[in-house]
Amino acid sequence: MPHLIRRLQSGLLALLTLLGALAVLALLIHVSADVAMRSLRGTPIPATYEIVTHYYMVGLAFLPLAWVETRGGMVRIDVIHGLMPAGVRRVSDLGVTLISALVYGALAWVTLRTALTNTANGSFIMTNNVRVVTWPAFWLPPLGLGIAALVTALRALWPEETPA
């Protein structure tokens, strides 16, 4: 069973990696095109700032969380960790991992509720007479946080199998 779960985790992380890479690439192309259009034609691409802040930056902030958690790189207690006996370190690591999973899960739940509300309302912003639909961007935080909660919970269940 853990092998199947680890394969599912790897697939989800690959999806998030792909989405993150696409966000970086889209950000690069979009901002470069905006600068080029502004410089060459004197007309920037409408709503670039809004798209960057509502889509690209949100994706770049939340999608990598699960990948970082697979490496145990987010929450660590390093100040006194080295001074603890091995058994106490394991208990401390487990406690931090469980608390992290709970926090990620709670944040995923709250952001999911926000995403559902914004989707139902069809949220958008208007900028320079351009309507920018924003409700899809509200799904990025619960996606990233939810998978981070899952990865962290799996690390709590099977700590020896966590990739280094």
Instruction: Give 41's pLDDT tier (boundaries 50, 70, 90).
Output: very high
Per-residue pLDDT tens digits for 81-124? 777 888 888 888 888 889 989 999 999 999 999 999 999 999 99
Residue 144 and residue 6: Cα distance in Å, rounded? 17
pTM (2 decimals)? 0.81
The length of the chain, given as a count of residues:
164
- Residue 67: CB atoms within 10 A of its CB come to 19
Per-residue pLDDT tens digits for 54-83? 999 998 888 888 888 876 666 666 677 777
Closest among 24, 45, 34, 5 to 157, alpha carbons compared: 5
pLDDT at 75: 61
Q: Are 134 and 54 in contact (CB under 8 A)?
A: yes
Instruction: Give 163's pLDDT tier (boundaries 50, 70, 90).
Output: very low
Ordered DSSP codes for 3-36 = HHHHHHHHHHHHHHHHHHHHHHHHHHHHHHHHHH
